Amino acid sequence: MVIKTNPIVRYTQNDHFSFCYDLDFRLRGIGMLPYVSKSLRVYMGTRFIATKECDAHPRVKESIIQGYDACTVSVNKWMVAGRDLRNSFTQKFSEMREGNVPMEEILQFMKDHTMYDALVQGDIEEGELPCSQNAGIITELISAGDVVRNVVAELASVMAVLESKVKAV
């Protein structure tokens, strides 16, 4: 099996950005996993934010590690739904979306409370802090290499379960 990581940085309107690592697993050998595609892509941005190598602000990493079961909230941004760490930004944004607040005011609010404010400057209360649902199960700051090693170590057992389910069908 060959594993490579590709850092991805996405810039969107109003200088918002997000990043994650695209873990590209290339499975070798025809008989290894006949029921699975030869390329599995796993997006694990939140897990990689909470690593020693990530340049996200230390307060962001600590917030993720201190997260709990329901520490994230779905954020409806018209064209796409996202998920953020629950904070005063998500509370105010949700209230604005549910109320009769004009679109221009909501967009200005988003412009004034960006992901950059949270991820780079460490404003974990007022900035938008994108996190997936797994934030609540991340309990320690480890190296990116350890994250990859842990995924690889668990991959065989996950694939075995998947293969047994496919055979049962």
| Average pLDDT score over residue span 84-99 | 94
pTM, to two decimals: 0.70
Question: What's residue 40's pLDDT?
Answer: 54
What are the structural domain ranges in the chain?
Answer: 2-168
Report whether pLDDT(33) > 90.
no
Report whether pLDDT(56) > 80.
yes
Report whether pLDDT(30) > 60.
no
Mean of the per-residue pLDDT values of the chain: 77
Question: What's residue 62's pLDDT?
Answer: 95
Question: What's residue 166's pLDDT?
Answer: 78
| Average pLDDT score over residue span 129-150 | 88
As a CATH number, domain 2-168 is 3.20.20.70
**Strand order of the sheet with strand 39-43?**
2-11, 17-26, 39-43
Report whether pLDDT(53) > 60.
yes
